[in-house]
Copies of this chain bind each other. A is one copy, B any other.
Amino acid sequence: MPVNPAPRAYQIVLQAIEEDLRTEKLSVGDQLPGERALAEQHGISRASVRDAIRILDVMGIIKTSTGSGPNSGAVIVSNPSAGISQALRLHLAAKGINVREIVESRILLETWAAQMNPRDPIHAQQVIDRTAVLIMRMDDAQLSREAFHRIDAEFHVLLASMAGNAVVESMMESLRNSISDYVAASIPDDESWQPIVRVLRRQHKAIHHAFATNQRERAAQLLEEHINWFYSQTR
C-alpha cells in the first residue's frame, strides 16, 4: 500500500513560503494565500497544499482558523518554540534524543545567556522585576505542581532572554517545553514533591539575587547547579 502517493509535493510549498518569509514578501501577521492560489502558483494539487498548511501549523509558522469571514484562513505567526518543541518531544520519545542531552543543552544555553552582557538594559531590568513576581507566585503553598512547572519554565526562559538572542531564546524555550511531561511524571506524588519544591524555591531566589546584583558568573554557576540538582531528583 503506498503510504505517500505524491511524495514531497508539499515541500515545494514549504520552500516557497520560506523564501517569501526570508525576502519579506510575507511577514508575521499576513494572511497566507488561499489553497487554490497556492495550488495554481506551484502547479500541485490542493491536497498537497493542504499537507503543507498542516505542517506549517504544527511547526508554529501559521495559525489556522475555520469559518468564512475576512479573518478566516491561515495567518503567519512564527511561534518557534511550539514547532521545535513538537519535533524535540517526538525525538525524545523515539530515543533519538535522551534527557542527558537536553539537560546538557539547557545548561549550555542558560549559563551562556547568564554570562552575556544584557543587550538592552531596560529589558534586563524588566526581566529582574518580572522574575521577582514569578518567585512570589511560586511561593504560594496552594499552587498546583502543574502551575509551578509552568511558572518555573517562564522564569528560566525570561532569564535566558536577557542576552537578547532570539535563536538561543527559542531553543531554550523548546527544550524547556519538550521535557515538562517527563519531569512531571517522574515525581510520583505530592509527598516526594514537597521537599523538592522547597529546595527549588531557595535556588530560584539565589539565582535571582545573583542576576539582580549583576553577579553574572555566580548566576551561571547557580543555574548549572540548580539544573543538575533538579534532574538528579527526577531520575
Contacts and interface: CB of A to CB of B under 8 A. Distances in A.
A171 interface: yes
A112 B67 CA distance: 49
Interface stretch (A17-25, A129-137, A206-214, A224-232): A17-25
Contacts of A74: 3-4
B4 A64 contact: yes
Interface in A24-61: 24, 26-28, 34-35, 50-51, 53-61
Interface in A75-127: 76, 78-80, 83-84, 86-97, 101-102, 104-105, 108-109, 112
A2 B66 contact: yes
Interface stretch (A145-153, A160-168, A186-194): A160-168
A173 to B, nearest CB: 11
Nearest to A96: B78
A83 B90 contact: yes
Could you say which of A57, A64, A170 has the most chain B C-beta atoms within 10 Å of its C-beta? A170
A105 B112 CA distance: 10
A142 interface: no
A32 to B, nearest CB: 8
Given A2-B72, A21-B94, 12 more contacts: A1-B68, A2-B66, A7-B64, A18-B90, A22-B93, A55-B58, A78-B95, A83-B91, A86-B87, A87-B87, A91-B166, A108-B168
Closest 7 CB pairs of A and B: A78-B96, A21-B93, A78-B94, A80-B91, A83-B87, A4-B64, A22-B93
